[in-house]
C-alpha cells in the first residue's frame, strides 16, 4: 500500500497536482481504450497501468483544451 501511495505522490508532483493527474490519466486511458498505441512497454494490458507508466516515464503531459 505504501508503494502505491508513493507512486501517486510522485505522479502528482510530476504533473502539478491530483486534479491534473486525474484529468491526464482519464484522457489517456480513453485514448488507449480507443486503440491508441502504447508509449511504453510493460507486461500489463490494463490501460490504467499503461497510462500510469507513461506518466512516470514522462511520455505524456496534460495540455489545456484551448491549446490543442
> Quick check: 64 pLDDT over 80?
no
Least confident of 3-7, 29-33, 37-41, 50-54: 3-7
DSSP-H helix ranges across the chain: 2-15, 18-33, 47-56
- Residue 56: how many other CB atoms lie within 10 Å: 13
User: pLDDT grade, residue 67 (50/70/90)?
Assistant: low
Torsion, Cα of 16, 3, 22, 57 (10° steps): 70
What residues make up the domain containing 55? Answer: 2-67
Is residue 40 within 8 Å of residue 57, measured between CB atoms? yes
Domain count, the chain: 1
Find all residues with CB under 8 Å of 18, minimum gap 6, and list them.
12
Amino acid at each position: 500500500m505504501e508503494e502505491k501511495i508513493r507512486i501517486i505522490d510522485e505522479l502528482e508532483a510530476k504533473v502539478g497536482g491530483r486534479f491534473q493527474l486525474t484529468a491526464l490519466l482519464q484522457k489517456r486511458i480513453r485514448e488507449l481504450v480507443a486503440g491508441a498505441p502504447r508509449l511504453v512497454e510493460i507486461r500489463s494490458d490494463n490501460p490504467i497501468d499503461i497510462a500510469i507508466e507513461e506518466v512516470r516515464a514522462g511520455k505524456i503531459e496534460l495540455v489545456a483544451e484551448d491549446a490543442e
